Amino acid sequence: SAVISQKPSRDICQRGTSLTIQCQVDSQVTMMFWYRQQPGQSLTLIATANQGSEATYESGFVIDKFPISRPNLTFSTLTVSNMSPEDSSIYLCSVGGRADSYGYTFGSGTRLTVV
């Protein structure tokens, strides 16, 4: 399965600022996904990062708040913009494809605290 490197692993940010999270995969993948896990909750899909086109956002998430880049088939970034304490969560990236090849790997996550 693919190996995913995600950084930063954690950060403490001031409200009103932005943080960009990076996700690097060791092989080319068709789709990359960004998830949010709020404290004590399950994972919620934010968006699918598509190479060469705009990301596809899930209901409740908008591009202005969570802009995503996907410049090539091994890399993606998620930016959390104009942060508020409600954005304090773990953010994780994952890759998509056949479950027996890339399907079940997550990055190590970014633990974000907004103060």
Query: Please, how many CA atoms are within 13 Å of residue 65, restricted to the half-sphere of its CB?
Result: 12
* Nearest approach, Cβ of residue 63 and another protein (Å): 17
* Nearest-angstrom CA–CA distance, 68 and 48: 9
Check binding of 99 to another protein (CB under 8 A). Answer: yes
Q: Which stretch binds another protein (CB under 8 A): 12-20, 59-67, 70-78, 97-105?
A: 97-105
Q: Which member of 33, 74, 76, 87 binds another protein (CB under 8 A)?
A: 33
Which distant-in-sequence residues (6+ apart) come within 8 Å of 40 by Cβ?
Answer: none
Question: Would you tell me which residues interact with another protein (CB under 8 A)?
Answer: 1, 30-31, 33, 37, 42-43, 45, 48, 90, 92, 94, 96-97, 99-100, 103-106, 108-109, 111
